[in-house]
Amino acid sequence: AQSVTQLGSHVSVSEGALVLLRCNYSSSVPPYLFWYVQYPNQGLQLLLKYTSAATLVKGINGFEAEFKKSETSFHLTKPSAHMSDAAEYFCAVTLLFSGGYNKLIFGAGTRLAVHP
Amino acid sequence: SQTIHQWPATLVQPVGSPLSLECTVEGTSNPNLYWYRQAAGRGLQLLFYSVGIGQISSEVPQNLSASRPQDRQFILSSKKLLLSDSGFYLCAWRGRLQGNEQYFGPGTRLTVT
């Protein structure tokens, strides 16, 4: 069964520092993987997605993630944190069904704090 | 382009009162629709999903129900709210001819008092 584990419920970095948010997945089939960001009292916004076309995926706001099959990981990175990056980040894997629909399995989320 | 709307944005309701939250999607046809709930410290919980008009699947038994009276309208309801129904409710859609990602609405903050 598919599952997602996000290591670290809280991550704190200084402005300008590297951001690394960890995500490990479990999937019996080649996965579709996603990162979403949620700002306070807002819905989730898609940051980026992995669909097997390329292992390094670039997303919005300068974020990128690398799919590593051998490590079953899909960690999210950003070279230089900005104060506006403070938010909660969710990693997700999709479950596909023959009826033409899917479900997303979400990790527990990582809250990113950025300090001046 | 596609957009998703939810209303109301915030709601405060007493225990035992009814509930109706609405979600509509524009710019796409026959989407998959989803209701999620975020309760404090509990992550995202899938409540219902729908693959078409009148087709509702429930993920978690509870006192909530969902309906899809039109192709791009998804409604979450309850006859009698419980304190435990408090949370942030999110609607999402996925296009049939697009990838597997889901797109989320702005959410409704429900507080049951």
Q: How far is A46 from chain B (nearest CA, A)?
A: 7
At A113 the pLDDT is 98
Q: Indicate if the pLDDT at residue B113 is higher than 90.
A: yes
In Å, what is the CA distance from A98 to each residue of A102, B52, B65, B98? 9, 15, 24, 16
Q: Indicate if the pLDDT at residue A99 is higher than 80.
A: no
Say if A31 is an interface residue toward chain B (CB within 8 Å).
no
Say if A42 is an interface residue toward chain B (CB within 8 Å).
yes
Q: How far is B39 from chain A (nearest CA, A)?
A: 12
Say if A27 is an interface residue toward chain B (CB within 8 Å).
no
At A30 the pLDDT is 77
Say if B88 is an interface residue toward chain A (CB within 8 Å).
yes
pLDDT tens-place string over residues A21-72: 999 999 877 788 999 999 998 999 999 999 877 889 999 999 999 999 999 9
Q: Indicate if the pLDDT at residue B39 is higher than 90.
A: no
In Å, what is the CA distance from A113 to each residue of A6, A15, A25, A39? 16, 9, 24, 12
pLDDT tens-place string over residues A83-98: 999 999 999 998 877 7
**Token pair recorded at residue B60:** 């978690």
CB contact under 8 A, A45 and B43: no
Handedness of CA B105, B27, A60, A73 (dihedral sign): positive
Q: How far is B72 from chain A (nearest CA, A)?
A: 16
Say if A34 is an interface residue toward chain B (CB within 8 Å).
yes
